[in-house]
Structure 1
């Protein structure tokens, strides 16, 4: 709680506990010191910090790598509720399908930018042809 309070405009313990609760910390877990947290717990603390700071733009690289299933679900919900823009890179197909509504792929021949789900992007025959052309054509 103490570590996270420094990033909050509201210093009340209950307020900060609420953000930790959203990231699946409960009871005495909220009193743990940062140096004893597991990798997944540290990631969940960073997500709570992000939510407290209320940014309008996030850049996230492989955010689910050190999270267990419950933490991934909590993070998915936080991103879905996030009012700003998120630029992310992930090799987690289920995560991408859950949170992405616009796919931007950078290829050697340019950019493919589509407003659609990840699965729709992968299954679209016209996009498959476009991707094939953009990767096989010499620069």
Structure 2
């Protein structure tokens, strides 16, 4: 109950993230750009975010080192490699990893 009355300027980084995601979802933007969206979130918050984003009707563009998060949401992978090479892969992250294992790259 005390948490509900807590001023926004004193909440933790994870709580700030949850508030921001809630606000974004209420605004229903056509596109969301996200940089490491799972940072500072606990497992329950990450699961809630995943569920909300799976049902998000707009476009998501995100950067993440969280492989599970990427695997659950990504339908297109853009990888920037050394030397300015850009790989554009249409498919899931798991599909992309399989092509990397076999040395194949599917340009999109």
With the shorter chain as reference, the TM-score category is: 0.7 to 0.9
TM-score, structure 1 normalization: 0.67
TM-score, structure 2 normalization: 0.84
- Find the counterpart in structure 2 of residue 69 from structure 1: 43
Tell which deviates more after alignment, 100-109 or 40-49.
Answer: 100-109
Per the TM alignment, residue 98 of structure 1 is displaced from its structure 2 partner at its CA by 0.8
> Aligned-residue CA RMSD in angstroms?
2.1
- Find the counterpart in structure 2 of residue 113 from structure 1: 88
1:66 partner SS: coil
Q: Tell me the matched-pair count.
A: 105
- Find the counterpart in structure 1 of residue 61 from structure 2: 87
Q: Which runs of 5+ in 1 are unaligned?
A: 1-26, 131-139
User: In 1, distance between residues paired with 2:60 and 2:76?
Assistant: 10
- Find the counterpart in structure 2 of residue 37 from structure 1: 11
Check the 8 A contact 1:59/1:87 in 2, yes or no: yes
Of 27, 46, 69 in structure 1, the residue corresponding to residue 20 of structure 2 is 46
User: In 1, distance between residues paired with 2:102 and 2:77?
Assistant: 11
C-alpha offsets along residues 31-72 of structure 1, whole Å, 9 cap, x if unaligned?
321022111111000000101111001110001011000000
Per the TM alignment, residue 109 of structure 1 is displaced from its structure 2 partner at its CA by 4.4
User: In 1, distance between residues paired with 2:23 and 2:67?
Assistant: 25
C-alpha offsets along residues 68-91 of structure 1, whole Å, 9 cap, x if unaligned?
000000111111111111111000
Structure 1 residue ranges (4+ consecutive) displaced by more than 4 angstroms after TM superposition = none
Higher CA-based Rg? 1
Check the 8 A contact 1:104/1:111 in 2, yes or no: yes
Q: Which runs of 5+ in 2 are unaligned?
A: none
